Amino acid sequence: MVITIGVLELQGGFDLHHKMLKKIGINSFGVKVETDFKKIDGLIIPGGESTTLSLLLDTFKLRNAILEFAKSYPIMGTCAGLIMMSKSIDDERVKPLGLLDIIVKRNAYGRQVMSSQEKVIFALNKERNIELFSTFIRAPRIKDYGNDVIIIAKFKDYPVAVFSRNLLGLAFHPEIDGIDIFHRMMFDNYSEFYYKKLKENYAA
């Protein structure tokens, strides 16, 4: 089955996500208008400026289109994308989509000049962890989360990668460092199988 993953191209670092998808053999398409959602099988909301992104979603009338798309298809958000997927954010200028049951604080890891590459512990399941070094740029902090949210990576005791149903939110930028595991787990042909196995691995 050939799939095409959309990358939201309103603002921010969308180009590296296209390159990452190409690297792992998945077609990509730039999403800019509502009709673009008919052409894709998944969506990436890239990093950027969340206040600007929030405004542009309404300007281009994409908010409802994303909410409808999320009912049936996988969506991944990185950094500002995670902020937009959240339920609540500590900045009234940002109107989040409410896809993930998380509460987020903007720029919690410092301003852009304090951007850094940090070690992230990613839990494949209860028994196996892997270490990844990825980039935090004005990264958001997940302050709280609901019962249906699975934590798959932490940094300094705070979640930085969360999974819920068909949704993945990352506080960091794997695309900058060439880390493809998250793109693969969300968008390859075995994604439904992965969702099932992930929930089994984390079941109490």
> Which residues have CB under 8 Å from 142's CB, separation 6+?
82, 102, 103, 104, 158, 159, 160, 162, 169, 171
> Is the Cβ–Cβ distance between 124 and 182 less than 8 Å?
no
CA distance 39 to 5: 9
Residue 191's pLDDT is: 52
Q: Is the pLDDT of residue 77 over 70?
A: yes
CA distance 148 to 150: 6
Q: Is the pLDDT of residue 139 over 70?
A: yes
Point out the residues that are catalytic.
Answer: 79, 173, 175
pTM (2 decimals)? 0.86
Place 1 in a pLDDT band, splitting at 50, 70 and 90: low
Place of tokens 């993953």: 5
Angle at 75 between CA 71 and CA 78, to 5 degrees: 145
Domains and CATH numbers, the chain: 4-202 (3.40.50.880)
Place 199 in a pLDDT band, splitting at 50, 70 and 90: low
Higher model confidence: residue 122 or residue 82? Answer: 82
The per-residue pLDDT of the chain, averaged, comes to 84
What is the SS3 assignment for 38? helix
